[in-house]
Amino acid sequence: MIIANLTYQWLGPTIFVSAGLAFLLLFSHERTQVSALRLSGAYFCAVIGFILVMLVEGDPQPAYSASIFASLFSSHFLMIWGVASLYDKKFPRVPFALALMVAASVIFYALMQPGLLWLRVMTASGFVVFVDLMCGLIVWRARSHRVDIAVAMVFLLQAAVTLSRMLGIYLARSDLPTLSAFKLSPFSSSMQTENAIFAIVIGIALFARYSVSLVMRLNRLAETDPLTGLLNRRAFETRVQVLRAASAPLPTGLIICDIDHFKRVNDTHGHDVGDAALIEVARLLRNVAGEGSLCARLGGEEFCIMLPESNDEMTRLAATKLRMAIEAHPIPSPGKELRLTASFGYCALAPDDDLSAALVNADAAVYHSKDHGRNRVRLAAEAGSRPSRQTESRDQACGAL
């Protein structure tokens, strides 16, 4: 029976150490995950307090009790800091500092007064409730996935369970004058069980959040161009169908942009300047496109925009605005100031128009623009036809602006 009880007592520390090691391994694998290091520290600090409570016999000296509570405060400081950094939120310094001062003051007073062990336990439990609520609030405000809701609910559930235990301790306070009496009470065993369970559940929930973040980051890497941050061609072709369906029955605007004489930029100024030029053009592209649009780098110096609910005239104006923005924007260069121009092809697609044919025609319009002086905007011809004379005249006027 003694061996079984000892094994049960060591269950909690074993779980805490395992969770701490898991987060530490995560940090060692990816050093950018500083939140994992803080969460690891939270679990290891909790283990210290857990073991100190287990090993004490009788009512401990104030210094020993202070070590237990220092472990409690440190572990929950690191927990809330780790959760805040995991969700890219600021650490709530002022609320945490106020809660810490109040809890520490009450515990210090209880340590100096005999028979107030219940007040110490109640205060420590209240501090735990505060941290759980703060963590739950941080996660809830930053939620971006269903797993975040689950993480917030776990923290709130732990706060509710701890509150119910606090009520039981308050009602039985006269029967808990010393630590020995408390360790023999049902509150001690229930506290150990709850701590062990929530250590596992919170660890799993936070690891699930790390997994979701990793999957989302891998998806972004698979879908975006690493240099400019725009969609790559495969992701663009996947998402454009959704955008067109959402815009129906209105048309969508398609713009293809190709930087003029880009090879000359690389040969004259170097590839670093060439990369800077691509990044700047991509930024201008995003600014012109606005929210709800798709921006992609199709390859090399060729870019593409898909505008929702945009007819021919709206698409032409957007292409013209981008052409003028590129022409007026200086590109960072160690030597002489570098200015770029770009050639454009555009069209509007009805919901049942073929995207592949539109891309081919818009690309042909880009080369038509290059053949006629560059730095121009051209309407893509429909399949098997040529732009009207009126359209060509209007596009030539756009190129001359």
- Please write the tens of the pLDDT for every residue from 379-393: 987 433 344 334 444
Q: Which residues of 333-351 are buried (b: 16+ CB within 10 A; e: fewer)?
A: beeeebebbbbbbbbbbee
* Mean pLDDT score, 173-194: 76
Q: How far apart are CA 200 and CA 19, in angstroms?
A: 7
- pTM: predicted TM-score of the whole model, two decimal places: 0.65
At 279 the three-state DSSP class reads helix
- Please write the tens of the pLDDT for every residue from 252-309: 999 999 999 888 888 888 888 888 889 989 998 888 888 888 999 988 899 999 999 9
Half-sphere exposure of 111 (CA within 13 A, CB side): 17
For the cut 80, the answer to whether the pLDDT of residue 179 exceeds it is no
The burial class, CB within 10 Å (0-12 / 13-18 / 19+), for 46 is buried
The pairing of beta strand 338-339 with beta strand 252-259? unpaired
pLDDT at position 146: 86
At 116 the three-state DSSP class reads coil
pLDDT at position 129: 94
For the cut 90, the answer to whether the pLDDT of residue 32 exceeds it is no
Domain boundaries, the chain: 2-223, 233-400
Confidence at 212, pLDDT banded by 50, 70, 90? confident
Cβ atoms of residues 120 and 170 within 8 Å: no
For the cut 70, the answer to whether the pLDDT of residue 12 exceeds it is yes
Which sequence positions are flagged as catalytic?
301
Residue 388 in tokens: 């009207």
* Mean pLDDT score, 166-180: 80
pLDDT at position 315: 92
pLDDT at position 8: 53
pLDDT at position 30: 79
> Residues 6 or more apart from 164 whose CB is under 8 A from it?
none
Spell out the CATH class of 2-223.
mainly alpha
* Mean pLDDT score, 165-177: 82
pLDDT at position 396: 44
Return mean pLDDT, the chain: 84
How many residues belong to the chain? 401
Is CATH 3.30.70.270 correct for 233-400? yes
Cβ atoms of residues 154 and 198 within 8 Å: yes
For the cut 80, the answer to whether the pLDDT of residue 229 exceeds it is yes
Which has the closest alpha carbon to 12: 195, 156, 178?
Answer: 195
Which has the closest alpha carbon to 44: 84, 77, 66, 93?
Answer: 77
Residue 53 in tokens: 């409570």
Half-sphere exposure of 299 (CA within 13 A, CB side): 3
- Please write the tens of the pLDDT for every residue from 115-164: 788 888 899 999 999 999 999 999 999 998 888 999 999 999 999 999 99
Residue 161 in tokens: 């369970």
For the cut 70, the answer to whether the pLDDT of residue 400 exceeds it is no
pLDDT at position 9: 66
